[in-house]
Structure 1
Amino acid sequence: MPVNRLLVILALLGGAARAGEPVSDAVALERLVRQDCGSCHGLTLKGGLGPDIRPQALRHYDTETLSEVVLDGIPGTAMPPWRPLLSESDAEWIADYLLNGEPE
């Protein structure tokens, strides 16, 4: 991963993580979904360069499978792997967040 991309991601997380350490704060993870995922999937997650990732569009996924997509990306597409920056528990939190919508 280019260093510039890593620096941008860390800056967007608001300093919640340092290089090589997983993001563990739910606020930072929600920000990551809105800003980083939203940069391709649209700020409202309804789709953009990438597909719609709101709960109704992801109902064919389970948490484990969607978590793997977050961590490993989708080869041959623009969906990048996030494994270098996220722990498995962070990816599970993101998958659950995407599948179940925003907490009220």
Structure 2
Amino acid sequence: MTTPALANPIDAKALERFVIQDCGSCHGLTLKGGLGPDIRPQSIEHYDPEILQSVILDGVSGTPMPPWRPLLSEAEAAWIADYLLKGEAP
């Protein structure tokens, strides 16, 4: 049986590292944008957390945004969406 790379319960420190390293590799280490768009709170505040969770899990077709569903649970993607919207750990 395969387990997600970041298993439950939520490991906030591991998810923060994931955002900085994995998301930051495309969105910039300060998340101000790069290959991917700016994902700081002021730039994404108009998104619902559920929409961001869906983008994190399923990616965006026709763009470099990959689906992270094979590595993240729905709870972890929800935590990341909240983290991005608030700019801090929920």
- The one-letter code sitting in structure 2 at the alignment partner of 1:53 is I
SS of equivalent to 2:55: helix
Higher relative contact order (CA 8 A, sep 6+): 2
The runs of 4+ residues in structure 1 deviating greater than 4 Å are none
Query: How far off is 1:68 after superposition?
Result: 0.4
Alignment partner, residue 68 of structure 1 = 54
Structure 1: any 5+ residue segments left out of the alignment? Answer: 1-18
Question: Is residue 20–residue 84 contact of structure 1 (8 Å, CA) maintained in 2?
Answer: no
SS of equivalent to 1:102: coil
Alignment partner, residue 3 of structure 2 = 20
Once the two structures are superposed, residues 31-53 of structure 1 have per-residue CA deviations (whole angstroms, 9 ceiling, x without a partner) of 00000000000000000111000
Q: 2: CA distance between counterparts of 1:102 and 1:45?
A: 13
Structure 2: any 5+ residue segments left out of the alignment? Answer: none
Alignment partner, residue 36 of structure 1 = 22
Q: 2: CA distance between counterparts of 1:92 and 1:41?
A: 18
Compute the RMSD of aligned alpha carbons: 1.1
Alignment partner, residue 32 of structure 2 = 46
Q: Identity percentage over the alignment? A: 71
The alignment of Structure 1 onto Structure 2 pairs a total of residues equal to 85
Q: Which has the larger radius of gyration?
A: 1
